[in-house]
Amino acid sequence: MCGIVGYIGARPAAGLLLSGLESLEYRGYDSAGIAVMENEKISVAKEKGRLAGLREVLDTSPLSGNIGIGHTRWATHGVPSVKNSHPHTNTDGTIAVVHNGIIENHEALKDYLQKKGYSFKSETDTEVIPHLIDYYYDGDLLSAVRKAAEKLDGSYAIGVISSKEPDKIVAVRKDSPLIVGLGKDGNFIASDIPAILSETKDVYLLNDNEFVTLTKSGVAITDADAKPIEKEIFKVQFSAQASQKEGYDHFMLKEIHEQPVAIRNTLRGRLDKDLKLNLDNLKFSDDIEKLYIVACGTAYHAGLVGKKAIETLAKLPCEVCLASEFRYGDPLINKNTAVLVVSQSGETADTLAVLRMAKKLGNTVYAITNVVGSSVAREADYVFYTYAGPEIAVASTKAYTTQLVAFYLFAIHLAELKNTVRQSELDDMKNELLHLDEVVSDILKSDDEIKKLAADIAGERDIYFLGRGLDYFVAMEASLKLKEISYIHSDAYASGELKHGPIALIENGTVVISICTNPEISNKLNSNVKEVTARGAKTIGFTACLSDTAAYNEIIKLPQVDPLLAPLPAIIPLQLLAYHVCTAKGFDVDKPRNLAKSVTVE
């Protein structure tokens, strides 16, 4: 995690760095800092906590200069503090470094450097980097960075400035994202596109082990052997406005409301009004007998729904795995398996590692991702973009629903290739898919009702979610949404599992939220709801099965759609519920504690 940014050009650097960091704060917000070249000397400003703190420091003691690097931190090694904040410098302050990633061999390097007389001020892994560059410096900053990088194990995107060569920024990446922005009056580095979007839409997407030297007038890219690399300029398609709140109080609320458009954008060009599916670019070999769907967090929850869709329609066995577990679980990958990774950011470290592992083992890798040009997008064999637009709020909403759309299309595509389901059935589903945006728009109108419910439950200590079949997966996602932004303890259970332990948690007044979208199994769920009611639970039903609602204390109506598609509309009011509970409690919706949007560490 962490976000890095750098600017070199004709304009004052500090303001540009701060506005870049503002867009990157979703990557971490434990502390922030910048280093600026002032009269050929490096000046550093840092502050613990949000960027606002650093702004105050800079208001009191401004930094001038046209070259600088900045960092917003998600703490890994060392507590959030000024001392551990980036930029980190070498002993005499002539080299400053910002870093996103983890240096796994930092202890050994620190040991080595200490023996050479270097002393350390922070608890971070990063601090070895400026010392190592200092150690290798013999008049050429780029070559010193190259030599230092050779010694680093782990992941890094690094930006370096040095007063010994005060006319450049040197940067490199390995397993952490980094892009270069080509501005009108200067050049940028950044962890992500939104950080530079108000300045330029022309970027270079760097690959691992590519080194960049930025000057005011140009950008030179070389590989680890110092060979020049020619790169095509990537034109960003979305606007800076897409990364703004546009009148909404929070990005999360804006992104919840953007879902109808995001769904339409994800369907566009892939599913025509005449129900023709255009996914011919996603090739699928007949030899594939099993698909591993691998992801983290919300994307994993999308994968659970995806498995059901693919198995039901395409009759292809799928296994859904958490990326962090899959990597070390000795999975049975062979020539008859394929891997589908799901990642909004396309940069999640564990998901990316699985992609690389699968490719190394010769498997075809499919990817569902939202970020064009991300590492996952560039390295997968086949990419399905969810055109949700930038998702800024840490809690994922529109990425999840568009991932579901991607899975539905993928499942129908495979079903058509394999001829596993009657075409009329698939056409009915396609037809419903084309109208899902309207269904979602309708649900968004129930905001007031949800807000009222949120006010009623905001004071709870524990809230449980129940569901059966696909509704269990919706319950898991709803529970994650609630706990990550409201800090209410919450768990999701398959409702039939309750009696095997969890029901012991139910006390008088415990809130239990049930999700029911499939009339065929609603009576089973209702029995489970009655069991918790009998033990004093306060029950709230998010239900499309309105014939039997007596068991609930309160009801939120869900629309009736094909049971396979139902998780998509069902999650919308539950996203709103989490949002309103969070605002009722006065917490920071878009930047919940301890979290970061893009998890680029394992």
One of 176, 345, 401, 543 touching ligand F6R (CB under 6 A): 345
393 backbone dihedrals φ, ψ, rounded to 5°: -60, 140
DSSP state of 39: T
User: From the CB of 350, what's the least distance to ligand F6R, in Å?
Assistant: 8
One of 263, 267, 299, 572 touching ligand F6R (CB under 6 A): 299
Taking CB under 6 A as the rule, does residue 152 contact ligand F6R? no
Q: Indicate if 597 belongs to the active site.
A: yes
**Of 131 and 301, which has the nearer Cβ to ligand F6R?**
301
One of 484, 506, 518, 521 touching ligand F6R (CB under 6 A): 484
Taking CB under 6 A as the rule, does residue 344 contact ligand F6R? yes
**Of 162 and 369, which has the nearer Cβ to ligand F6R?**
369
Measured N-to-C along each axis, helices 13-24 and 51-60 cross at an angle, to the nearest 10 degrees, of: 170
Taking CB under 6 A as the rule, does residue 514 contact ligand F6R? no
> Residue 456 in contact with residue 549, Cβ under 8 Å?
no
Q: Which stretch binds ligand F6R (CB under 6 A): 86-94, 153-161, 290-298, 418-426?
A: 290-298
**Of 396 and 517, which has the nearer Cβ to ligand F6R?**
396
CA separation for the pair 292, 543 (Å, rounded): 31
Q: Give the burial class of 288: count Cβ atoms within 10 A of its Cβ; 0-12 exposed, 13-18 middle, 19 or more buried.
A: middle
Where b means 16+ CB within 10 Å and e means fewer, 319-357 reads ebbbbbebbeeebebeeebbbbbbbbbbbbbbbbbbbbb
Taking CB under 6 A as the rule, does residue 191 contact ligand F6R? no
Q: What distance separates the 2 farthest-apart alpha carbons in the chain? A: 79
Taking CB under 6 A as the rule, does residue 297 contact ligand F6R? yes
Taking CB under 6 A as the rule, does residue 478 contact ligand F6R? no
> Residue 485 in contact with residue 585, Cβ under 8 Å?
no
Q: Please give the torsion angle defined by the CA atoms of residues 443, 447, 452 and 458, in that order, rounded to the nearest 10 degrees.
A: 90
Taking CB under 6 A as the rule, does residue 599 contact ligand F6R? yes
User: From the CB of 218, what's the least distance to ligand F6R, in Å?
Assistant: 33
Pull the structure tokens for residue 278. 């255009």
Q: Which stretch binds ligand F6R (CB under 6 A): 23-31, 239-247, 343-351, 441-449?
A: 343-351
Long-range contacts of 529-532 (CB under 8 A, 24+ apart): 529/466, 529/495, 531/498, 531/499, 531/503, 532/466, 532/498, 532/503, 532/506
Taking CB under 6 A as the rule, does residue 298 contact ligand F6R? yes
State which residue has the least CB distance to ligand F6R.
297
**Of 47 and 484, which has the nearer Cβ to ligand F6R?**
484
What character string, x for contact with ligand F6R (CB under 6 A) and - otherwise, covers 351-390?
x---------------------------------------
CA separation for the pair 499, 429 (Å, rounded): 35
Cα 243 from chain centroid (whole Å): 15
Q: Output the CA torsion sign for 270, 275, 280, 285.
A: positive
**Of 23 and 351, which has the nearer Cβ to ligand F6R?**
351
User: From the CB of 582, what's the least distance to ligand F6R, in Å?
Assistant: 12
**Of 160 and 404, which has the nearer Cβ to ligand F6R?**
404
Taking CB under 6 A as the rule, does residue 259 contact ligand F6R? no
**Of 87 and 306, which has the nearer Cβ to ligand F6R?**
306
One of 395, 406, 426, 450 touching ligand F6R (CB under 6 A): 395
Q: Indicate if 318 belongs to the active site.
A: no
State the amino acid at position 165 in one-letter form: E
Task: Select which of 48, 430, 538, 597 is catalytic.
Answer: 597
Cα 109 from chain centroid (whole Å): 31
Q: Output the CA torsion sign for 267, 272, 276, 278.
A: negative
DSSP labels for 22-37?
Answer: HHHGGG--SEEEEEEE
Pairing state between β 462-467 and 511-516? parallel
User: From the CB of 28, what's the least distance to ligand F6R, in Å?
Assistant: 13
DSSP state of 414: H
Q: Which stretch binds ligand F6R (CB under 6 A): 100-108, 338-346, 408-416, 431-439?
A: 338-346
One of 84, 100, 363, 396 touching ligand F6R (CB under 6 A): 396
Tracing tokens 């007031």 back to the chain, one arrives at: 448
Q: Give the binding-site size for ligand F6R (rule: CB under 6 A).
A: 15
One of 85, 265, 348, 375 touching ligand F6R (CB under 6 A): 348
Taking CB under 6 A as the rule, does residue 187 contact ligand F6R? no
CA separation for the pair 134, 46 (Å, rounded): 22
**Mapping DSSP to helix (H, G, I), strand (E, B) and coil, where does residue 449 land?**
helix
One of 126, 162, 343, 490 touching ligand F6R (CB under 6 A): 343
Residues near ligand F6R, by CB under 6 A = 296-299, 343-345, 348, 351, 395-396, 480, 484, 598-599
Active site residues: 2, 597
